[in-house]
Amino acid sequence: MVQQCSALVSRIPYFRFIRETADSQVPITFGMWWRQAVLGQPDGVYWPVHPSSVVNGYQNVLIGEHTSPGYSPGCYIQGIGRVYIGDYTQLAQNVGIISANHDVHDNSVHQVSEVRIGRYCWIGMNAVVLPGVVLGDFTVVGAGSVVTKPFPEGYCVIAGNPARVIRRLDPAQCVPHTCRHAYVGFFRKERFEAYRRANLRL
């Protein structure tokens, strides 16, 4: 019954995102849209987020196509500083993206930085990405890793605490796949730039 209702709703032009993202890595359901757009849980976040994930400062978070940080359960996305996450990047459960840290001499003060994560990255379960980190395209972060420094070259697997390169990837074997319909969060790509200019701080 729920699937039948969703299929009927997706035929309404406004809700075409249900149909057009169904085969993507972060499909948008009517329930997600209703919880966020109507009930405001979480308030203002422009991409689908799991109810158990937390996004702090979405205005400082810029995502790419078919990327939804916090789509998996238990994630924490901290947008005190700027956070950039590229197209088709995926975050597993309980991932933390941290863009600011407390000053060691005065923990009432934040030392603000930024985080940049490239395209087609995969951040494994329970990994934490700390302020100032840059991850190039096609970076895989092993489960439970703590990423403390940049790996801007990408095309690698990093793991550990602190994370280090454990394997290099052959760029010729890395597949830059795309979806037929381009979405940035809840927005079709061609509509997103206007939203960004009006609502985001980056």
| Predicted confidence (pLDDT) per residue in 128-182, tens digit | 999 999 999 999 999 999 999 999 999 999 999 999 999 999 999 999 999 999 9
pLDDT value of residue 146: 98
Which sign does the torsion angle of CA 183, 187, 192, 198 carry? negative
pLDDT value of residue 174: 98
Which sign does the torsion angle of CA 45, 48, 54, 60 carry? negative
Average pLDDT over every residue of 21-49: 95
Active site residue 102: yes
pLDDT value of residue 3: 58
Choosing from 66, 102, 105, 110, which is the catalytic residue? Answer: 102
Domain residue spans of the chain: 47-199
pLDDT class of 31 with cuts at 50, 70, 90: very high
pLDDT value of residue 13: 85
β-pairing, 139-141 vs 163-168, is unpaired
Average pLDDT over every residue of 34-53: 96
122 within 8 A of 90, measured Cβ to Cβ: yes
Q: Looking at the predicted structure, is the pLDDT value of residue 124 above 70?
A: yes
Concatenated DSSP letters of 5-39: HHHHHTTSGGGHHHHHTTTSSSPPPHHHHIIIIIS
Output the six-digit token pair for 46: 């422009």
CATH H superfamily, domain 47-199 = Hexapeptide repeat proteins (2.160.10.10)
50/10: higher pLDDT: 50
pLDDT class of 79 with cuts at 50, 70, 90: very high
pLDDT value of residue 4: 55
Q: Looking at the predicted structure, is the pLDDT value of residue 85 above 60?
A: yes
Q: How many CB atoms lie within 10 A of CB 179?
A: 16
Q: Looking at the predicted structure, is the pLDDT value of residue 108 above 90?
A: yes
- The predicted model scores a pTM of 0.94
pLDDT value of residue 12: 87
Q: Looking at the predicted structure, is the pLDDT value of residue 10 above 80?
A: no
